[in-house]
Structure 1
Amino acid sequence: MSKAVLDINDKPSSGQLITLSFQHMFAMFGSTILVPQLVGLSPAIALLTSGIATIMFLLITQFKVPAYLGSSFAFIAPILIATGGVDQATGANINPGNAMIGAMAVGIVYGIVSLLIWKTGYKWLMRLLPPIVVAPVIIVIGLGLSGTAVGMAMNVNGEYSFLHFSAALVTLFSAIIFTVYFKNILSAMPILMGLIIGYIYSCIIGIVDFSAVKEASFFAMPEFLIPGVDYEINITLKILLAMVPIVIVTISEHIGHQLVLGKVVNRNYIKDPGLHRSIFADGLGTFVSALLGGPPKTTYGENIGVLAITRVYSVYVILGAAVIAIIVSFFGQAMALISTIPTAVLGGISILLFGIIASSGLRMLVENNVDFGNNRNMVIASVILVVGIGGAALRFSESFAIEGMALAAIIGVILNLVLPGRDTKEVDYDN
């Protein structure tokens, strides 16, 4: 275990605080703004709410957990299903209020789960969500979006464009190079670097429209979405069934991040401050984000990577990154510049990102030694993959359906509970 340069509660100097905080802000920046770009929400609100959610997380976890909360990729497809997708003419979400209602419901479920963990412990959750259920659903999340990524990379207005596809490939290979060949801090932010290089290339070949930047104010209020003001509060089963089942994945992702982060900083976060606190903080961050118009939140692996590389674990640095994100979200021209990123560039980076999501599911299966010689495991994984990637839907009416990855996740949980031969061995994270 390498000795920390700055431990959890160590206060950096002013110069260190600014430099290190910007480093963390850049690490999460590309992914945090990419999610709203893909689902037609405001990048400025996503950035603002990521800072707010992170500050709330630090407060609730008693300034013991140096984690940053950014936009969750797991909810891209559910948001598109719940809202009807993105208007191709404007790039805006067709019915963003549905996404906010769904995200608030997700935050409430997080709160319920955290309360149950507080009262009964966490081991029931591990039995409900073993790797054989969670890993295939993660694979579905990645591969289910693969067609979207490739379409964004290759097509313009529904037609193939070699010029735009070249920008996607430049973006993709730039991100790959930073992921594989760089070993310093740049390796922790390949998404941002890929976006930057892809954007520069796009400017050179003339596919970037700067008119939005010229029209934007230097300072501008983010585009808030307030319930009851900017949209009607209409809670439907379609919204709930599209988004809430994804907590099967995101809570498992949260636990995984807490375990990895604990190893990096040499702490046991399952025990102190406790899984119930961190899950509640994650859920509250998502709920508050939705109240303001931002996408669901999750702890970020990119920032854990920065912690591991720099060995600077100070929560004050994470707090500084959150404050910087909030400030940057009010720079209108900066946000307008982000809106000029070509769809092809976003598609190129999405090819890598969605592939990494799917691969992380495969890695979970390998790391947990899931035996596919066992027919039970083979059946559960097979059904989840085909139902999820195939887009199966259980339709009860035009407005009431369970489909795609949500249906796959629910079926996976049910199969794991009812099929004989379930592994009863418990994993103890308290030690």
Structure 2
Amino acid sequence: MGNKREIGIREIPKWNYWIILSMQHLFAMFGATILVPILTGLSPAVALVSSGLGTLAYLVVTKGQVPAYLGSSFAFIMPIISAMAIGGPEGVMIGTFMAGIVYGLTALLIKATGVNWLIKLLPPIVVGPVIMVIGLGLAGTAIEMAMNYDSEAGQFVEPMTHFSVALITLAITIVAAVFFKGFFNLIPILFGIVGGYVVAVFMGLVNFTPVMEAPWIRTPDFVVPFVTFTPDWSWTIIFLMVPIALVTLSEHIGDQMVLSKVVSKNLVKKPGLHRSIMGDGVATLIASFVGGPPNTTYGENIGVLAITRVFSVFVVGGAAVFALIFGFIGKIEALIASIPTAVMGGISILLFGIIASSGLRMLIDNQIDFGIKRNLIISSVILVIGIGGAFIQVSDDVQIAGMALATIIGILLNLILPGKEHGLGNNSMFASLDEKLKDDDNAA
């Protein structure tokens, strides 16, 4: 690995290597990107298209200097499920649009004033517990899927058959994540879905008829404002999704720091954090105009960059083009739709737990001291309000609930309680970001 030649960010590989390397990125993001729409009721084909379009837009916004792939964001799973219950896919698109606007406004503010205000608003003591709420709040959904809960009948149907498939799927995913090496270590979700699917076939849980009848080429079920529906503004949906956009901004900063280390370039300074956040915003706005979930940069694809040492934005762009093409292949969409809920439940048991653990890891990495009462209070309140499902009925049409309410209260507690510096922890990776951005502005 150490003797492998690097391919630079603006370098174009030979066409045959280009195709192979781009397909590798496609496989790395595929399982996770289709998982979000499957879990939330959106179209996986549309998610692939919005992922491809969003990535291409991101590469343009960042001036072809940030080799990042964008896919469906896990952080929005819970609010999308809630938004789907309120306003269907059309309602979700309103929330996704507003999330994109929040990204854009934040990017402009960071360009003008630096990033310290964002870190003070969303320190690890707020973001960590909120991420834990995102994962733990979905635990019941994972078990219902794994054990085949019929919401109409109000009971589990053949729970042991389905749960056995879910556990085998979970085992395959864990083996892939722990024991596989190199690139294969980066796609445990894909291995889990494929392995669990094969087991489900032998258990008689898969119906291949829709796959056989599906056309090869098919236009995805796009959800386009003023074409397929007339937008109906919902403040409840906005309050569900916009606070999560604030939380994912902290994750974005972390991804940019990691990516900078991988490519050995300070991407926070050039092209700038404001450009990468704006790229996320534009990608999410595009998703809102076609019917896809909010987009975010993918850690799996950063892992591919680290292993292959191929940093070319043209390779990443090639993966985006392949995602676009896959979105229009009807048999692929039908095959995805035929995956039993037990398989997705097995994946979700691990995935939702990892999301929750990621929040815990943020607290550990930043050395948050829970011997300090303010930290203990903030995290405790966020966890109970978020997981407990508390809500405030502002009016007949506006409700602030669950995770969104927990985020808002966490932000307010952090601003009100004395000792704000303790919320950053003793090892905050964000400490020098503002200085870096100011140096970049001075150089410009």
Length-normalised TM-score, structure 1? 0.95
Aligned to 1:6, the other structure's residue is in SS state coil
Aligned residue in 2 for 1:234? 232
How far is 1:77 from its partner? 1.0
Q: Following the alignment from structure 1 to structure 2, what is the Cα–Cα distance between the partners of residues 379 and 156?
A: 36
1:263-302 matches, cutoff 5 A = 263-302=261-300
Question: Counterpart amino acid of 2:245?
Answer: V
Q: Following the alignment from structure 1 to structure 2, what is the Cα–Cα distance between the partners of residues 156 and 110?
A: 37
1:126-275 matches, cutoff 5 A = 126-157=119-150, 158-160=155-157, 161-275=159-273
Question: Counterpart amino acid of 1:60?
Answer: V
Aligned residue in 2 for 1:99? 92
How far is 1:202 from its partner? 0.6
Match of 1:121 among 91, 114, 118: 114
Q: Following the alignment from structure 1 to structure 2, what is the Cα–Cα distance between the partners of residues 82 and 30?
A: 23
In the TM superposition, what whole-angstrom CA distance separates every residue of 1:264-298 from its partner, at most 9, and x where no partner exists? 11111111110110101101100111101111101
Aligned residue in 2 for 1:90? none
Whether contact under 8 Å (1:134, 1:248) holds in the other structure is no
Q: Following the alignment from structure 1 to structure 2, what is the Cα–Cα distance between the partners of residues 304 and 4?
A: 18
How far is 1:32 from its partner? 0.4
1:40-79 matches, cutoff 5 A = 40-79=41-80
Change (3 A) 1:4 1:60: farther
Whether contact under 8 Å (1:4, 1:313) holds in the other structure is no
How far is 1:410 from its partner? 0.6
Aligned residue in 1 for 2:431? 427
How far is 1:397 from its partner? 3.4
Deviates more, 1:12-21 or 1:397-406: 397-406
Whether contact under 8 Å (1:248, 1:409) holds in the other structure is no
Aligned to 1:420, the other structure's residue is in SS state coil
In structure 1, the gaps of 5 or more residues are 86-93
Q: Following the alignment from structure 1 to structure 2, what is the Cα–Cα distance between the partners of residues 236 and 45?
A: 23
Q: Following the alignment from structure 2 to structure 1, what is the Cα–Cα distance between the partners of residues 227 and 53?
A: 21
Length-normalised TM-score, structure 2? 0.93
Whether contact under 8 Å (2:99, 2:281) holds in the other structure is yes
Whether contact under 8 Å (1:218, 1:332) holds in the other structure is yes
How far is 1:4 from its partner? 5.6
1:370-409 matches, cutoff 5 A = 370-409=368-407
Question: Counterpart amino acid of 2:288?
Answer: A
Q: Following the alignment from structure 1 to structure 2, what is the Cα–Cα distance between the partners of residues 358 and 159?
A: 26
How far is 1:398 from its partner? 4.0
Question: Counterpart amino acid of 2:112?
Answer: K
Change (3 A) 1:411 1:68: same
Whether contact under 8 Å (2:102, 2:246) holds in the other structure is no
Aligned to 1:402, the other structure's residue is in SS state strand
Q: Following the alignment from structure 1 to structure 2, what is the Cα–Cα distance between the partners of residues 390 and 183?
A: 39
Aligned residues between the structures:
423
Q: Following the alignment from structure 1 to structure 2, what is the Cα–Cα distance between the partners of residues 250 and 212?
A: 37
How far is 1:395 from its partner? 1.3
Alignment RMSD:
1.5
Question: Counterpart amino acid of 1:427?
Answer: A
Q: Following the alignment from structure 1 to structure 2, what is the Cα–Cα distance between the partners of residues 41 and 398?
A: 27
Aligned residue in 2 for 1:343? 341
Aligned to 1:70, the other structure's residue is in SS state strand
Q: Following the alignment from structure 1 to structure 2, what is the Cα–Cα distance between the partners of residues 169 and 398?
A: 43
Q: Following the alignment from structure 2 to structure 1, what is the Cα–Cα distance between the partners of residues 240 and 117?
A: 24
Whether contact under 8 Å (2:40, 2:84) holds in the other structure is no
How far is 1:248 from its partner? 2.0
Q: Following the alignment from structure 1 to structure 2, what is the Cα–Cα distance between the partners of residues 220 and 83?
A: 24
Aligned to 1:379, the other structure's residue is in SS state helix
In structure 2, the gaps of 5 or more residues are 425-429, 437-444
In the TM superposition, what whole-angstrom CA distance separates every residue of 1:217-263 from its partner, at most 9, and x where no partner exists? 11101111111222221112111111111112111111111111111
